[in-house]
Structure 1
């Protein structure tokens, strides 16, 4: 699985960080998503899929999921 984020679309809701903190973080100044791992290990794929599905701005794209 490859993960991409679109920081321009991110609204800073933080649901991705709560769902998959191993893969996502937020910038302190504005809450915009920061991708920590573009190719996360299989054991966190479920959380990453949940994060992408729950992103209100649709800022997370998954490839090869």
Structure 2
């Protein structure tokens, strides 16, 4: 586990290094050929369950700050 829930990430940050698919990619998360999950967008990491009792990792995109 490289990043935990509620941590902020930028595109390319590794979230989970794993052997096999213990966690599946959700919204704004990609999976490498070695099953590593990484962020595709800047935002906040969120772990949740989904279909068939699978565990998913998503990145909730951050709203752009109005200046």
Q: Same fold (TM over 0.5)?
A: no
Q: Which has the higher helix share?
A: 1
Structure with more contact order per residue of length (Cα contacts < 8 Å, sep ≥ 6): 1
Who wins on radius of gyration, i.e. which is larger? 2
TM-score scaled by length of structure 2 = 0.36
TM-score scaled by length of structure 1 = 0.37
